[in-house]
Amino acid sequence: MSTELSECIPPDLTPTTKLLRQLRHHLTSTTTPPGTYPTTYVVLLLTGSFCPIHVKHVRLFDQVRSRLHTTMPDHRVVAGYISPSHDTYVRSKLRAGHIPAAHRIAMARLCVQGSDWVDVDAWEAMGVRYFVDFLSVTERLQRHLNEVVRQSDVVLNPRRLEVWFLSGADLVMRASLNFETMARVGIKSVCVFRALPMYQIGTEDELVAYIQKTFGARWWRNIVLLDTSTGGQEDELSSTKIREKLKEGKEVDGMVAKEVAEYLMLHRILACNLNEDASILIA
């Protein structure tokens, strides 16, 4: 990572109050039965455009945490971070559908203000001058959190705190080289399964076979596969559909959190030409 991507970033871009509170709770708990203490404390990281963030994004954290605690009882999820992508990437990807980072961060913070473990990491969007790939974002967060814990009153071996990258199966297919690199350097990824007809993958077994073939026997186990689908309409929810409704002047109630819907309306996001220099306080 270059000097420009150094750790000289204002610390408030990556809040750690929730993480430290969760670690203190789990490390000092007197209700945990002997012999069942977690061997690994996990931090989930979800990157993306979040243009805008919707209810499925937020609920995904709770779904994944619940599944991990059930399938991997020696692991404990202590924090989750939503990391909106840099404007240079989102603008090139969405063009007229681009929402400036300050707004995306503000809406994400509204979504997690009631959570005691999920927070927003603004470093990727506001702490660098250009787009950074998700491998670099994950590595930076791991180093940053290790340093924060080291300087705190929490007594924990850094090797027991791991940042796991959270993504959908489609991203694994589109960016397999990035995931292979992460697997090789020991970074785990949580892949949320869904059918991918364009890749001729319709079942979880077919996705497992693809991952095994792509990453090889030595590395594929660093990809944790989970199925969080509910079979309901929420499974089809996407930011693209929300942007279309906003441009048509339609309501998006139920698709985004109430606070986000109010924010979108207040700032007339995508309802008119949005001023990218809008002054939004994100601190």
Say yes or no to pLDDT of 277 above 60.
no
Say yes or no to pLDDT of 43 above 80.
yes
Spatial contact of 244 and 268, defined as CB atoms under 8 Å apart: no
Domain ranges of the chain: 15-21+38-266
**Given this model, what pLDDT does residue 176 score?**
82
Q: How far apart are CA 174 and CA 165, in angstroms?
A: 15
For 1-13, write each residue's pLDDT tens digit: 333 433 433 448 9
145, two tokens: 């959190």
Q: How many CB atoms within 10 Å of residue 52? A: 26
For 177-223, write each residue's pLDDT tens digit: 888 888 888 899 999 887 788 888 888 888 888 878 877 766 677 88
Long-range contacts, 239-248 (Cβ 8 Å, 24+): 239/49, 239/50, 239/51, 239/52, 239/53, 239/54, 240/97, 242/52, 242/54, 243/51, 243/52, 243/94, 243/97, 243/270, 246/270, 246/271, 247/97, 247/271
Q: How far apart are CA 20 and CA 145, in angstroms?
A: 10
Q: What is the mean pLDDT of the chain?
A: 85
**Residue keyed to tokens 């995904």:** 60
Quote the pTM value: 0.88
Spatial contact of 47 and 137, defined as CB atoms under 8 Å apart: yes
Say yes or no to pLDDT of 116 above 60.
yes
Say yes or no to pLDDT of 37 above 80.
no
**Given this model, what pLDDT does residue 282 score?**
44
172, two tokens: 């694994």
**Given this model, what pLDDT does residue 275 score?**
45
Strand partners, 45: 81, 165
> 15-21+38-266 has which CATH code?
3.40.50.620
